[in-house]
Chain A
Amino acid sequence: MGEWKFEWKRFQKHNKYTDEEMETFMNDPRRAKAAPILFSPAILKKNLIIEVVKSHGCSAGLKPGDKLVFRALGILDPQKSSPWCAQAMGEFGGIANMLQDRFVAGLDPEECIWRYFSCMDCGPEYGWGQVVMQAYVEDAESWAKDSAGNSA
């Protein structure tokens, strides 16, 4: 298998950008630097997992061990994920941003500081229940064929 090379044309096709939009994107050093890393085979080997670690009184039925699996640190894989509660999703975007930032910076996303968070319910004393979740990163099976840079 040859060395992987990011292809901007394929990226443009994948995101359905016009030439003008593509030019704007590539003229932004921040996005131009991040795209080849965030669309690399390396990130496709990283799954973001959100797992319930504590649950009491959860009327949605979330229990310890329930999981969501996000491919490439941000794309939900419904087939590998448990049913979930809308009120327990508020932090996901921030966590994905932070992990992707670490990845682009060349840091191990699994070594992040911030990984625990709770749903917005507040337990049976003041609400219904409460769930505490942990975010972590684990190596995925090979997703390389799905790389936008390679296959779009």
Chain B
Amino acid sequence: MATEAEYQKFLKDNNLDPKLVEGIKRFIGYTNEEIMLSTPRQHKSWKAQNTLNEWFIVANIVESHHCGARNKVGDRYVFQSATSLVPEESTVRFLCTAAIVPIAFYGSILYERLAEGLDPRDFAANEYAWCSDTDIECGGYGRILMKLSMQHASEFKSMKDRSYWTKMKKK
């Protein structure tokens, strides 16, 4: 078991703000020993965490063909902090894994760009992504095309009142 002095030395050697690390320990439940297993690459992500929480990945559906999950044009999927799906901000009838998987690929881009101090909106990957279904003529049901964007909390428009989940709660 690491002593307090060893733990403090680890924080100092890795230029880690004790307040930041305490917050991470409280939120995730790491012990001092687990913190000491971390690497500078992980610390880089920790330092970006506060900024990361301010950003949303928004996938707006711009085409929909026979979507079995009834996702339609104008609907959207919303993720916060790169990887956390926010159902109450996602307006689709059913949350579909075939749509969520390609969106998940954008999480690490958001993380990396913020950690490097870059504007996440300028990402180089395609702005558009198809879900992984292939429509009726290629052995599937249907498919949707999504336009992806990174939106800061200051510009993000909450659609809570329009979301399926909120409607269900009201009934």
Decide if B109 touches A107 in the complex (CB within 8 Å): no
Interface size on B, residues (CB 8 A): 22
A5 interface residue (CB < 8 Å to B) = no
Interface residues of A in 93-139 (CB under 8 A from B): 93-95, 97-98, 100-102, 104-105, 107, 112-115
- Name the CB-closest residue of B to A104: B124
Q: A residues engaging B (CB < 8 A)?
A: 28, 30-31, 33-34, 37-38, 93-95, 97-98, 100-102, 104-105, 107, 112-115
Decide if B107 touches A105 in the complex (CB within 8 Å): no
Q: Count the A-B residue pairs with Cβ separation under 8 angstroms: how many? A: 61
With A33-B124, A34-B124, A104-B124 as contacts: A95 and B116 at CB distance below 8 Å: no
Decide if B124 touches A94 in the complex (CB within 8 Å): no
- Pick the contact of A113 from B115, B125, B127 — CB < 8 Å? B115
Interface residues of B in 109-133 (CB under 8 A from A): 109, 111-113, 115-116, 118, 122-127
**Which 7 residue pairs of A and B lie closest in terms of their CB atoms, listed nearest first?**
A104-B124, A94-B105, A98-B108, A34-B124, A114-B108, A97-B125, A101-B124
- Pick the contact of B109 from A34, A38, A98 — CB < 8 Å? A98
Q: B residues engaging A (CB < 8 A)?
A: 41-42, 44-45, 104-109, 111-113, 115-116, 118, 122-127
Q: Which residues of A contact B112 (CB under 8 A)?
A: 98, 101-102, 107, 112-114
Q: Which residues of B contact A102 (CB under 8 A)?
A: 112, 116
Decide if A30 touches B41 in the complex (CB within 8 Å): no
- Pick the contact of A105 from B44, B124, B126, B127 — CB < 8 Å? B124
Q: Which of A31, A94, A104 has the most CB of B within 10 A?
A: A94
Given A30-B123, A95-B108, A113-B108, 17 more A-B residue pairs with CB atoms under 8 Å apart are A28-B127, A30-B124, A31-B126, A37-B124, A97-B108, A97-B109, A97-B125, A100-B124, A101-B112, A101-B124, A112-B41, A112-B112, A113-B44, A113-B111, A114-B45, A114-B111, A115-B41
